[in-house]
Amino acid sequence: MLLEELFNGEVKIPSLPEVFYQFKKAVDDPDSTFEELSRIIGNDSGLTTHLLKIVNSPFYGLSSKVETISHAISIVGGEQLSDLVLSTCVLNKFKNIPSKALEMKLFWEHNIACALASKIISSHLNIGCPESIFVSGLLHDIGRLVISINIPDKFNEIFLLAQMNNSHLLVAENKILGFGHDEVGGELLRRWKRVMLISGV
């Protein structure tokens, strides 16, 4: 099976909401103001709530509560908030998609743990932007989700082969599919026009 076949078939991949593209476009525009960025996010109450929850979490360790998106942008920065918008949109889009082959609760717990570990290592070694690395950690297994949703039989076969040979899932994926979930995740982000995070996935 070729990677192109997976994406050119009936692949169930939700598109990102328009608010993400509007926000990213505004962030990339040097003439944009905090007020403009806040207005774009403010049009989506659910997104606003989730972003403020993340910014007020122990992850950022702020001494006072952030109550507005404009305040969040002034603290986190537009580009980093754009990464958080992406991760929030991804989580929301895949949240209610059923998968017979993957235990979703464990899947997201694993990815959140990886995201936190990546951020801690990044901060300790002073490598890269901790927020971007956090998002990369959060999305690093998104390709597994695409495989499990669209070709669950193959996903189960991969899992069994990895268990039988005591090998990494990537090894089993390449043996059965000819590509790994890392490549699937990279292609998904390319299609979402987020090339900046591909190397992290």
Residue 101 identity (one-letter amino acid) = A
CA 126 centroid distance within chain = 22
pLDDT tens digits, one per residue of 37-90: 889 988 888 788 878 887 887 767 788 898 988 888 888 777 777 777 877 777
Cβ–Cβ under 8 Å, residues 7 and 147: no
CA 154 centroid distance within chain = 23
State which residues form the domain around 33: 3-200
Report the number of distinct structural domains present in the chain.
Answer: 1
Residue 47 identity (one-letter amino acid) = L
Tens digit of pLDDT at every position of the chain (201 positions): 678 777 776 556 666 778 878 888 888 888 988 888 889 988 888 788 878 887 887 767 788 898 988 888 888 777 777 777 877 777 676 666 566 667 777 787 788 788 878 888 888 898 887 767 877 888 888 888 888 888 888 988 998 999 999 999 999 999 999 999 999 988 887 777 654 444 445
Does an H or E element contain 46, and which? helix 45-55
